[in-house]
């Protein structure tokens, strides 16, 4: 059982690193003057999508993987593109470290989540799924602004 959990973690980290690199490439490709673009009035801006991704990664990895309360409010900051890229890179590193530091025997621990009890592995899946969902949105924003998307890699 521990071997399977260890394999899951190593596979997760490989995928996480590739997803991080791809997401950062997307953020780099979008011109700074398009960071405030949003396709509809009720949508998030491109930058808002990135901040939402960062906030979710930090919340899930801090609160559920590390067991430390997360109280950051990124809704009130307005970073430049360079600052946003730094925040994005650092958040991917911190989230990766939280997974790396998680003992294998804790992978199946159940935590109380607003959607109901979940295993830590499910929280990790949620981290990737949520990030992928919002990366898909920023890719659409890029295409709507004639910005060429980086070559996809899904593994």
Using pLDDT thresholds of 50, 70 and 90, give the confidence band for residue 19.
very high
Residue 74 has pLDDT above 80, yes or no: no
The tens digit of pLDDT for each residue in 23-36 reads 999 999 999 999 99
130 is in an annotated binding site: yes
52 is in an annotated binding site: yes
Q: What is the mean pLDDT of residues 100-118?
A: 93
All domains in the chain, ordered by first residue: 2-144 (1.20.120.450)
134 is in an annotated binding site: yes
DSSP-assigned states of every residue in the chain: -HHHHHHHHHHHHHHHHHHHHHHHHHHHHS-GGGTT--SSTTSPPHHHHHHHHHHHHHHIIIIIIS-------GGG----HHHHHHHHHHHHHHHHHHHHHS-GGGTT-EE--TTS-EEHHHHHHHHHHHHHHHHHHHHHHHHHTTPPPPPP---
Of the listed ranges 56-70, 79-93, 131-145, the one predicted with least confidence: 56-70
pLDDT for the residue 77: 87
């Amino acid at each position: 059982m521990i071997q399977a959990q260890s394999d899951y973690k190593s596979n997760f980290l490989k995928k996480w690193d590739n997803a991080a690199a791809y997401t950062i490439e997307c953020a780099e490709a979008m011109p700074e003057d398009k960071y405030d673009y949003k396709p509809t009035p009720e949508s998030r801006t491109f930058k808002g999508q990135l901040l939402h991704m960062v906030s979710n990664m930090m919340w899930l990895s801090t609160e559920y993987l590390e067991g430390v309360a997360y109280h950051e409010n990124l809704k009130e900051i307005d970073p430049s593109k360079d600052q946003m890229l730094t925040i994005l890179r650092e958040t991917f590193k911190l989230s990766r470290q939280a997974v790396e530091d998680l003992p294998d025997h804790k992978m199946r621990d159940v935590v109380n989540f607003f959607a109901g009890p979940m295993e830590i592995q499910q929280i990790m899946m949620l981290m990737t799924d949520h990030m992928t969902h919002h990366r898909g949105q920023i890719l659409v924003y890029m295409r709507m602004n004639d910005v060429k998307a980086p070559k996809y890699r899904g593994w």
